[in-house]
């Protein structure tokens, strides 16, 4: 069974949805968008407060897990990746964070990617968004993605901002604007009480385009080549093996785990690995699957002395009442992710930009959304913005359904642990400020008895987790060793690109959905300019 198109986009995640929308806009190009997961029309996806259910219950996730992590006391960890229309933008926490301008300038200066400086990326950040605060020199007002500066739903959020100011940190007017550093509102991809995913923003409005075909619940097995040129893909759906061919390009937007996996299964990767799998070498590309890195986080939690937290939202009957209000009105505690305030700080004055993100959560919840304790309380999540440690994604089988081996190698570089330890001390100073005196109860985790470097380090090793921002496994660069060039074109073959977070040369300072959308908006122009 064969089909012919101009472009084939593999993966309907953040980047893939952008590409499918923009490539079909003129009506000139026939585009096939292939997604392994189902449609995104589900309560857990659309209701912002239910994101942990969408992420952790397995229905919309690939089910990946890391190998035992040596520096986390041998623990394994889930690696949540969206397997649904919208990809991870349909199951993430909806924090919209562009990153620091220095991140992109580093791509330009340190990696030689001159076209990826902040100045050249900013127009695409503005292009993609409609910001609730209105357009200005840094924000967009007529883009595809609705971005909301939240109204604070808990008094704890205001108290936290006041505590940060009392501790000597600036209050930022807009952490996605001129300067990221400081404490302020944490922008959300939420609009009128509903999640804004890449699917709702870029695909739902254009489903009727006759030159767009969407294949859901279809598993791509490999990219097809002939005479050094990309010809199409082979995929399975409903038990049938199909082939689709392209006149122009195949674009992999399968994400930082699956894009390198697909390259290897197609014969592009380290020659020794390909030989061990019995796969013919199309391109010997040693860095495919290398350079894996991710943000990591942990939480410090306190009991609250007043009943002003959102903790009742985790228990019946309040949980049911919240759900009913959201279904009927799209308002209330169900209409927010509860990550409404954020802070970006430097843990030492020698740093030129923030290296830690703090986010207040006005309840006590585990990563799967269940209650940590049947008391009023709150927690602050601390995330390391620019980790040094690097890992790998290694294909283990020619069966595309078998997960690759994912080894992040968290905390392998000692500097990561040093910065995380210092961010515990800095956060404790903020949480001890007078503005929180009226509601702050005892520290529940790690507990005030945890004070020495060794004690804090052990707490971190036992509690550190992924923030689910994998990137870098198909590194973009100007050097011959890089997997793709500055326009996402895979080296060694023609007609094949990778456009997703796997091509980040280094992670940006914050949640990576917004930079991924920007990257896709920018690279789709390169695709169309080449035609």
H helix count then E strand count, the chain: 13, 24
Longest dimension (CA), the chain: 72
Q: Is 145 helix (H, G, I), strand (E, B) or coil?
A: strand
CB neighbourhood size of 423 (10 A): 24
Query: CA dist 234 to 144, 180, 395, 405, Å?
Result: 32, 44, 18, 23
Got the DSSP string for 443-483?
Answer: EEETTTT--SHHHHHHHHHHH-EE-S--B-TT-B-SSTTSS
Q: Are 517 and 14 in contact (CB under 8 A)?
A: yes
Got the DSSP string for 121-140?
Answer: HHHHHHHHEEETT---SS--
Residue of 346, 442, 443, 434 whose CA lies nearest to 165: 434
Q: Torsion angle, CA of 292/195/520/367, rounded to 10 degrees? A: 0
CB neighbourhood size of 238 (10 A): 7
Query: CA dist 142 to 21, 193, 197, Å?
Result: 16, 19, 17
Examine the residue annotation and report whether 469 is marked as an active-site residue of this protein: yes
CB neighbourhood size of 484 (10 A): 26
CA distance 468 to 54: 14
CA distance 507 to 99: 9
Residue 116 main-chain phi, psi, to 5 deg: -115, 20
| Catalytic one of 100, 111, 293, 469 | 469
Q: Is 298 helix (H, G, I), strand (E, B) or coil?
A: strand
Residue of 292, 297, 293 whose CA lies nearest to 464: 297
Q: Is 419 helix (H, G, I), strand (E, B) or coil?
A: helix
Query: CA dist 18 to 85, 473, 516, Å?
Result: 12, 21, 10
Looking at the annotation, which residues are catalytic?
469
């Amino acid at each position: 069974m064969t089909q012919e198109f101009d472009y084939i986009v593999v993966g309907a995640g953040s980047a893939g949805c952008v590409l499918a929308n923009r490539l079909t806009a003129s009506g000139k190009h026939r585009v096939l968008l292939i997604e392994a997961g189902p449609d995104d029309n589900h309560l857990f996806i659309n209701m912002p407060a239910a994101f942990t259910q969408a992420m952790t219950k397995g229905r919309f996730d690939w089910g990946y897990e890391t190998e035992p992590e040596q520096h986390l006391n041998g623990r394994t960890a889930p690696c949540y990746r969206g397997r649904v229309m919208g990809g991870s933008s349909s199951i993430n926490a909806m924090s919209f964070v562009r990153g620091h301008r220095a991140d992109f300038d580093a791509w330009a200066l340190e990696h030689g990617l001159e076209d990826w400086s902040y100045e050249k990326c900013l127009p695409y950040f503005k292009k993609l968004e409609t910001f609730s605060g209105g357009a200005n020199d840094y924000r967009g007002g007529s883009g595809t993605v609705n971005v909301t500066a939240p109204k604070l739903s808990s008094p704890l959020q205001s108290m936290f901002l006041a505590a940060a100011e009392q501790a000597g940190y600036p209050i930022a007017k807009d952490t996605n604007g001129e300067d990221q550093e400081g404490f302020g509102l944490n922008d959300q991809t939420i609009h009128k009480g509903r999640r804004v995913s890449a699917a709702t923003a870029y695909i739902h409005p254009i489903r009727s385009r006759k030159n767009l075909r969407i294949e859901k619940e279809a598993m791509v097995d490999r990219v097809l080549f002939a005479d050094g040129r990309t010809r199409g893909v082979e995929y399975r759906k409903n038990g049938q093996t199909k082939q689709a061919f392209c006149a122009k390009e195949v674009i992999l937007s399968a994400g930082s785990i699956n894009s390198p996996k697909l390259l290897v299964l197609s014969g592009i990767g380290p020659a020794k690995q390909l030989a061990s799998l019995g796969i013919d070498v199309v391109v010997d590309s040693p860095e495919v699957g290398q350079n894996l890195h991710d943000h990591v986080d942990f939480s410090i939690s306190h009991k609250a002395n007043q009943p002003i937290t959102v903790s009742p939202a985790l228990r019946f009957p309040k949980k049911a009442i919240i759900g009913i209000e959201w279904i009927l009105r799209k308002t209330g505690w169900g209409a927010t992710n509860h990550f409404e305030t954020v802070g970006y700080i430097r843990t030492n004055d020698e740093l030129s930009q923030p290296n830690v993100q703090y986010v207040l959560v006005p309840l006590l919840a585990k990563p799967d959304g269940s209650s940590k304790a049947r008391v009023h309380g709150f927690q602050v999540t601390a995330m390391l913005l620019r980790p040094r440690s690097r890992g790998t994604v290694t294909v283990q089988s020619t069966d595309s359904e078998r997960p690759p081996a994912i080894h992040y190698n968290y905390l392998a570089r000692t500097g990561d642990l040093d910065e995380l330890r210092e961010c515990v001390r800095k956060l404790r100073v903020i949480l001890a400020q007078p503005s929180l005196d009226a509601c702050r109860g005892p520290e529940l985790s790690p507990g005030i008895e945890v004070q020495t470097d060794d004690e804090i380090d052990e707490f971190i090793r036992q509690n550190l987790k992924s923030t689910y921002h994998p990137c870098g496994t198909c590194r973009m660069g100007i050097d011959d060793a890089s997997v793709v060039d500055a326009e996402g074109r895979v080296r060694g073959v023609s007609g094949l690109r990778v456009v997703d977070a796997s091509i980040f040369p280094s992670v940006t300072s914050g949640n990576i959905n917004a930079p991924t959308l920007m990257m896709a908006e920018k690279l789709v122009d390169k695709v169309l300019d080449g035609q």
